[in-house]
Amino acid sequence: MLAYRHAFHAGNHADVLKHLVLTRVLRYMGEKDKPYTLIDTHAGAGGYSVEGRYAQKNAEYGTGVSRLYDATDLPAPLADYMDLVRAFNPDGQLRQYPGSPAIANMLLRETDRLRVYELHSTDHRILASYLEGRANTQVSDRDGFGAIKAELPSPTRRAALLMDPSYEIKTDYGKVLSALREALERAADTVVMVWYPQLQLLESTQLAQRLKASADAAAKKGWLHVRLTVTQADAKGFGMMGSGMFVANPPFTLHDELAECLPLLVERLGQYDGANYVLEQKAV
Ligand code: SAM
């Protein structure tokens, strides 16, 4: 039984980083006429109310998206992502936050294929109803890690994969690593995006290094790693300090776009003086 519900965390600093990267990748994929497939292995409910009792419990969006929502001085890539958040809020007030399937729904064209996986029965039901009737879309309630075998290589050849597990169980760290390797074995040019939490936990601190080694061996177009640290762990070493996104076969434009945004993200989302970012890539 899964306990994690993304509704508690929607719009937090980690969603901002993840969805900024996702938006840039999907914009890039959409520049070519040829359709592509997006596979979202851990999709969540699709969109979230930030006024509901889940999001209000810790009001995580208050130190995330709401610090950027009214800003008029954002670099173009961040402004583009924030326009999508605004489009999801038709009366102008920040009331709802778009999850990865909602961002995909806004950016994919009718000819692009969308494959979303969500294991939690309630979130799966909400997601299926949100995407009902969307062309070229399948919503699955199966294990998202199984999507690699089921979906790759894709009939479109061009494909992007978002892996965004909750890491409720430590085995998720090993599973994303194996899934990255398997995805690149099946289709070496797949744009694979992996989100991970920055924690004082061996599995978390080692993950980026292990993903890099796997991408070094198999990705056709190199990799990019970005991490945004906004706070410190508590005295016992618990708590999420920030998060990272690892992208195998990133668009060549992604590094410079993120370099433009990260100083502002540190300034606006940082919760202590040591807030910082890491941005590194290996271009091939
Ligand atoms: N990607 C979403 C977004 O950006 O809006 C958020 C996803 S949330 C971090 C992780 C989701 O994965 C949760 O909704 C959880 O129920 C679901 N989940 C956990 N294990 C899963 C699995 N093995 N396969 C598919 N979904 C899973």
Q: Annotated binding site for S-adenosyl-L-methionine: which residue ranges?
A: 19, 42, 100, 118, 143-144, 164
**Whose CA is closest to atom 21 on ligand 1?**
119
The pLDDT of residue 58: 87
* 35, containing H or E segment: none
* pLDDT tens per residue across span 6-50: 889 999 999 999 999 999 999 999 999 999 999 999 999 999 999
pLDDT reading at 57 higher than 90: no
Answer whether 95's CB lies under 8 Å from 89's CB: yes
Answer whether 160's CB lies under 8 Å from 37's CB: yes
Comparing C-alpha atoms, which of 247, 242, 235 is closest to residue 277? 242
pLDDT reading at 178 higher than 80: yes
* Residue-range domains of the chain with CATH: 6-282 (3.40.50.150)
pLDDT reading at 192 higher than 70: yes
CA dist 96 and 93 (Å) reads: 9
Indicate if the alpha-carbon torsion angle 256, 207, 103, 99 is positive or negative. negative
Q: Which residues line ligand 1 (CB under 6 A)?
A: 2, 4, 6, 18, 42-44, 99-100, 117-120, 123, 143-145, 164-166
Q: Active-site residues: which are they?
A: 164
- Which of 1, 5, 6 should be mutated for ligand 1, with most atoms under 8 A from CB? 6
The pLDDT of residue 269: 98
**pTM assigned to the model:** 0.98
* pLDDT tens per residue across span 62-120: 999 999 999 999 999 999 999 999 999 999 999 999 999 999 999 999 999 999 999 99
Look at residue 226 and give its three-state secondary structure: strand
Interface confidence: ipTM more than 0.90 = yes
Q: Annotated binding site: which residue ranges?
A: 19, 42, 100, 118, 143-144, 164
The pLDDT of residue 188: 97
The pLDDT of residue 16: 98
Q: Residue 43 C-alpha to ligand 1 middle, in angstroms?
A: 5
Q: Residue 48 C-alpha to ligand 1 middle, in angstroms?
A: 14
Contacts of 171 (CB under 8 A, 6+ apart): none
Average pLDDT, the chain: 96
Comparing C-alpha atoms, which of 25, 23, 39, 28 is closest to residue 183? 39
Answer whether 233's CB lies under 8 Å from 241's CB: yes
* pLDDT tens per residue across span 198-224: 999 999 999 999 999 999 999 999 999
